[in-house]
Amino acid sequence: MEYVSPEGLRLDGRRPMEMRQLRAEIGTVAKANGSAVFEMGNTKVIAAVYGPREVQNRSQQINDQALVRCEYSMANFSTGDRMRKPKGDRRSTEISLVIRQTMEACILTHLMPRSQIDIFVQVLQADGGTRSACINAATLALADAGIPMRDIVTSCSAGYLNSTPLLDLNYIEDSAGGPDVTVGILPKLDKVTLLQMDAKLPVDIFENVMGLAIEGCKAIANYIREVLLENTKQLEYRRGL
Amino acid sequence: MRGLQLPLSQTQRIRLQRALEKLQSLSCKANSDASVTVADTIPVNYEDAFLKGHGTTDLNGDLVATVCGVVERINKLVYVRALRARYKPEVGDIVVGRVVEVSQKRWRLEINFSLDAILMLSSMNMPDGIQRRRTALDELNMRGIFEENDVVCAEVRNFQHDGSLQLQARSQKYGKLEKGQLLIVDPYLVKKSKQHFHHLEQFGIDLILGRNGFIWVGEHVEARDSMVVDQANSSEQSMVPEEKSQTHTPLEMRQNICRISNAVRVLSALGFSIDSDLILETVELSSTVKIDIHDMLGSEFHVLVAEREAERRSLMGKRKR
Amino acid sequence: MVGLSVGEKHFIQGGIAQDLRSDGRKRLTYRPIYVETGVIPQAHGSARVRLGATDVIASVKAELGKPSALQPDKGKIAIYVDCSPTAAPMFEGRGGEELSTELSVALQRCLLGGKSGAGAGIDPTSLVVVEGKVCWDLYIDGLVISSDGNLLDALAAAIKAALSNTGIPKVDVAAETTSDEQPEVNISDEEFLQFDTSGIPVIVTLTKVGRHYIVDATSEEESQMSSAVSISVNRKGHICGLTKRGGVGLDPSIILDMISVAKHVSEQLINKLDSEIAAAEASEEES
């Protein structure tokens, strides 16, 4: 099947290095301490953060840092074919772990000892790149909750089909069987916190694809930073003196 | 707009937009320039000695923000004031909390902080008013003073070495709060002021603005000296709950309580800082416009409050000049 | 759910007795309802309903399937509800399962009628394509994003809105088929059949606190309830389903009174909901 036409257009009309449309909204769940909705094309994800608050389970309390917990769940209607089990299956557990480790690396946990931070991510629509959208939404929600972080984390995926590196794969391109590289970076510190790949790639092409994904992450970081700055300014001028 | 999921008609949307734009133009320009997000560099003159405050960290010699907020500089201290965050306690703050647990010689209160706060039995005035050592009998009777889920007003006493918070409730005006409702808003909307207890005489209502974002609106209760008298009638007290159910809050006072609560809800939804003058003005506005108490939470009133606030701030700005 | 002190509980009960609740509503007033349709473009129909701080999403997906042997002339409808942990930390893991099951069963009872499919609010005969061989399976999924009481009413409203937004693709059946073969069906991408939702009922939950009942309870008021009765009423004023929750026993005359109150309230609710759905669809078409 042809994923990249001879003119250089993908199945949804994008160019190979073009990302899908991004949209972010802060503060959707009023009851949570921080929340955000993040959309990458058709992939739509809600993240909610509760905390820092007192640890509910005394045995899990850590004396010198905060405990970070995360749960990833997909809605029944999020994928094309209905899913039977929204949570508890192995993929969800793995992604919960991945998100938790990534966010834990950037939160300054030593500032909030013996407390607990809960991150809940809910996928409303899945069209490829759910892992990345979840991490981006979680970053926004944590910033909204005022939790101190070393840097924001952004994530993006890239692949290699028809001998072309492609940025931000959607579901059809993802299930084509080609390689899928997901990268998460700390843009200011210029460090990679998450790197996952499946299928196989020669090393030099891998460097290309990873570089492309990192470019994508940086673009997302700029967008997220704009959204947060706008939100902060709005809150400040509304509050008044 | 956080929580402002209101169905606005086209005209209402335009009016609200205009009012918010006016507020934006009135806001301190320096402040909006000083807004930062996570990992933004803070412009500092590195030759001057400066102190790194909250919300900042050192990154390769640069000063970088760790939260989204506004940079404040006071003398040599540079820090980032986070807007939406958990409560940041300071010694001497008045807070309102809810009892989560009753344990040995102490109560644990939830106060919108990263940890629960502790109120020691020894930091509490005894019902009989006598200053004495707390005996084992006092410990067993702790539930007689406060039990789980009670709403309590207290003051921040100090921080423990491990970061947890200690409260005290020694004065008469602190203690259990009943006959009213508790509202929760974001802590950054309640600013530190001289007065946090407000007795609104014209309504006969107590308004307590806890610095942690818990706001109590309730019937006015005379200074807690009643506790001293109650000890003598303590045996009757235990039987009174039955009869208490007969004495409900009178309707007019309830209407006032609801009006004030709704005013607080509207102000918090619009993101305006909350103080007692503003609340009273909002309540007056609702009476002049003759709006139903429930309709105060509707779109029209929100737009009116936004417009009125824009006017008020522009007047204040002119007065300053 | 946050606990309430004795003083606060007393205050709430007093308010309900005096017909002035904590946010100024009367006993039988609903909070403002806000409807958005088409929030999940991948589904055949979807809607999001906000009732105060309660926020729910409903989505409708249709798949081709085989009708059951017992009812060859009817399609199949299934309703599932999931409580997302974003609504409350206690819904994490399996914490929300009990509530989800309770809501799913209550919705099924109110909207789908009896085992034989008789008396359903949603008519399954309109879902059949080829009798006995091919029918549409309708999967209605509800997701609770934020919870502040009265989830059942909000979910029923969302389902009604989602069904108004649903377009079932038109199916062309290949003409020559023998009686045992599966007929070939061509699913059209262009044409859609809109669902007729005038017959779909709404659910009105009456919560009894003390001697009075209130409509649209917030989660604080719900914690005070002695019992609650959820009644689903359709436009004609017919009762399509009834569920009682809560342990306290109710006098039968009170239940009959509650039913008549529910009928009265449902008229306004149905009108309000229909106008909101129409407004939402209109604004969806504009965008």
Report yes or no on C207 lying in a domain: yes
Please report the pLDDT score of residue A123 as a whole number: 93
How many domains does chain C fold into?
A: 1
In a domain, C1, yes or no: no
Distance CA B313, CA A109 (A): 39
Q: Structure tokens of A220? A: 């997302």
Identify the pLDDT of residue C136: 82
How many helical (H) and strand (E) elements, i.e. helices and strands, does chain A have?
4, 9
Domain positions in chain B: 33-85, 94-247, 253-320
The number of beta carbons lying within 10 Å of the beta carbon of residue C174 is 11
Q: How far is B261 from A110, CA to CA, in rounded Å?
A: 38
A100: chain C residues, CB-CB within 8 Å? none
Give residues 2 to 41 of B whose Cβ lies within 8 Å of C.
3, 5-7
Q: What's the confidence (pLDDT) of residue C16?
A: 87
pLDDT of residue B217 exceeding 70, the answer is yes
Angle at C124 between CA C121 and CA C127, to 5 degrees: 135
Quick one: DSSP state of residue A18? Answer: P
Q: What is the pLDDT of residue B235?
A: 41
- The answer to whether C52 and C138 are in contact (CB under 8 A) is no
Asked if A118's CB is within 8 angstroms of C92's CB, the reply is yes
Residue type, B57: T
Q: B57: which chain A residues are within 8 Å (Cβ-Cβ)?
A: 108, 150
The residue of chain B nearest to residue C3, with distances taken between CA atoms, is B149
pLDDT at residue B245, as a whole number: 46
Amino acid B32: pLDDT? 64
Cα end-to-end distance, chain A, whole Å: 61
Please write down the HEC assignment for all residues of B148-203: CCCEEEEEEEEECCCCCEEEEECCCCCEEECCEEEEECCHHHECCCCCCEEEECCC
Mutation for testing the A interface, residue in B33, B62, B68 having most A CBs under 10 Å: B68
Cα distance from B162 to chain C (closest Cα, Å)? 26
**What residues does A74 pair with on adjacent strands?**
A123
**Higher-scoring residue by pLDDT: C27, B170:** C27
| Contacts with C7 from chain B: Cβ below 8 Å | 150-151, 176-180, 218
C10 contacts in chain B (CB < 8 Å): 178-179, 244-245, 248
- Residue A51's closest chain C neighbor by CA? C89
Q: Which SS3 state, helix, strand or coil, does residue B145 take?
A: helix
Query: For residue A23, what pLDDT is reported?
Result: 93
For residue B67, give the chain A residue with the closest CA. A148
pLDDT of residue C15: 87
By C-alpha distance, which of B37, B43, B75 is closest to B55? B37
Inter-chain contact B178–C34, Cβ cutoff 8 Å?
Answer: no
Q: Which domains, ranges and CATH numbers included, belong to chain A?
A: 22-239 (3.30.230.70)
Express each pLDDT in B74-98 by its tens digit.
888 888 888 888 888 889 889 999 9
Q: At what angle do helices A203-239 and A130-144 cross, to 10 degrees?
A: 30
Q: Cα torsion for B13, B18, B21, B23, to the nearest 10°?
A: -110
Task: Using alpha carbons, select from C190, C85, C177, C188 the residue that is nearest to residue C133.
Answer: C177
Percent of chain B with pLDDT over 90: 10
Q: What is the pLDDT of residue A132?
A: 94
How far is residue A173 from each of residues A133, A237, B161, B222, measured CA to CA in Å?
17, 44, 55, 71
Identify whether the C-beta of residue A153 lies closer than 8 Å to the C-beta of residue A139: yes
Q: Is residue C208 part of a domain?
A: yes
| Residue-by-residue DSSP string for A150-188 | SS--EEEEEEEETTEEEES--HHHHTTSS-EEEEEEETT
Mention the CATH class of domain B33-85: mainly beta
What six digits make up the tokens of A221?
């970081």
Cβ <8 Å between B272 and A189: no
- A-contacting chains (≥3 CB pairs under 8 Å): B, C
- Check whether B231 has a pLDDT greater than 70: no
d(Cα C81, Cα C96) in Å, to the nearest integer? 10
Architecture of domain B94-247: Beta Barrel (2.40)
Look up the domain containing C88 and give its range: 6-286
pLDDT at residue A83, as a whole number: 64
Average pLDDT in chain C: 83
What pLDDT was estimated at residue A212? 93
Window 170-199 of B: residues touching A by CB (8 A cutoff) are: 188-189
Cis amide prior to A52 (ω within 30 degrees): yes
Query: What are the chain B neighbours of C24 within 8 Å (beta carbons)?
Result: 258-259, 262, 292-294, 296-297
- What ipTM is given for this predicted complex? 0.85
- Selecting from A35, A42, A86 the residue whose C-beta is nearest the C-beta of C41 gives A42
Q: Which residues of chain A have pLDDT under 50?
A: none
What pLDDT, on the 0 to 100 scale, is given for residue B236?
41
Which CA distances in Å does A149 have to A219, B57, C179? Answer: 20, 10, 67
The rounded radius of gyration (Å) of the Cα atoms in chain A is 18
Write out residues in chain C with pLDDT < 70, as ranges: 1-2, 114-121, 174-191, 286-287
Decide if A31 and C53 are in contact by the 8 Å CB cutoff: yes
B34 CB burial (10 A radius; 0-12, 13-18, 19+) = buried
Which of B:106-135 have CB within 8 Å of C? none
Question: Chain B partners of A186 at a C-beta cutoff of 8 Å?
Answer: 39
What is the pLDDT confidence band of residue B221, given thresholds at 50, 70 and 90? confident
- Nearest CB to C8; choose among B7, B151, B298: B151
pLDDT score recorded for residue B73 = 85
A75 touches chain C (CB under 8 A): yes
Rg value, chain C, Cα: 20
For β-strands B214-219 and B205-209, DSSP reports them as: antiparallel
Contacts with B65 from chain A: Cβ below 8 Å: none
C192 in reach of chain A (CB within 8 A): no
For residue B243, the 8-state DSSP code is H
